[in-house]
Structure 1
Amino acid sequence: MRQCTSCFQTLPLHCFYTNSNAPDGRRSKCKECQRVVSSAYKKKRRALANKGLLPPFKNEDKVSRTEYSLRKLYGISLEQYDKMREDQNYCCAVCLKHETSQKKRLSVDHSHTTGEIRGLLCENCNLSLIAQREDPDIFLRAADYLKKGSGIYVPEK
């Protein structure tokens, strides 16, 4: 038996949801009180999402969640993002791999110094190439290095 912290009724443990962090493994509110609190939270959250102040819940309307992220992070609309994808033939601007060969959608690449959006990159190019260093001279030296080679080869085994 346990007392609910909301309605103060003493109820059997099966009337409380489980909580692995609690000492007795149960939540402090009974299931009925928890449902009331959860539905009020969801109603308030959904109203804020409809006003564009919060993104929708994860399992709702993926398109508007994406648009919310694009607007909040980069100040662009979903239409602008789609136009950039079309202009790049739905490929990463650096490695030219098609977006369908990627697990995630193309990332918006931008200069952290000026804020200018440069284009769309696959996750690998965005994280490993561009995000590490934004100095074009380093990339030119790296390209020369890769073209040059040494003329020495690893022996075959």
Structure 2
Amino acid sequence: MKKNILEISVFMLLLAYPATGLLCYQCISTHPGCGTPFQWIWYSSISCPEDNDVCVKIIEKKEGQEIITRDCLSSVKGIRTDIPADHYEGCRPGTVDVKLANYVNNSIKEIDISRSYYESVTFCFCYFDHWCNDGSQLQISYVIILALISFVLKMNYF
């Protein structure tokens, strides 16, 4: 009986795990707990809408001020033009769009049409594990899997 419960629970876990899509955090560092250090317990995760989606962490810096944005890449694609072409695991600087605001005669300096306000923009991509855009070394899904295995093993021996 206990062996059947173990097999059924592992089978259900394998069926349910890939169907959810990639889970990423979604927040901006102006929200409490979203900066450095990241307080993952305050934020729920979102399921990325596309099949081959990537979690992204955008770090924008200017004169000691740092803004960190965490989201799915598909959600950021519509509003950002400085996304690097390489979306593989790791961090890389944002690209420069030479056509952006090229034919605009804007006399209001406060409107950043050319997106040149920040001195450095870094995009960090990850897609190997859920909640990987938190920036820490320990991933929560490993903890959940280890807890599930220890619970099942404890049920088998008692």
- Classify the TM-score, shorter chain: under 0.3
TM-score w.r.t. length of structure 1: 0.24
Looking at both structures, which has the greater relative contact order when contacts are Cα pairs under 8 Å and sequence separation is at least 6? Answer: 2
Q: Which has the higher strand share?
A: 2
Q: Which has the higher helix share?
A: 1
Rg larger for: 1
TM-score w.r.t. length of structure 2: 0.24
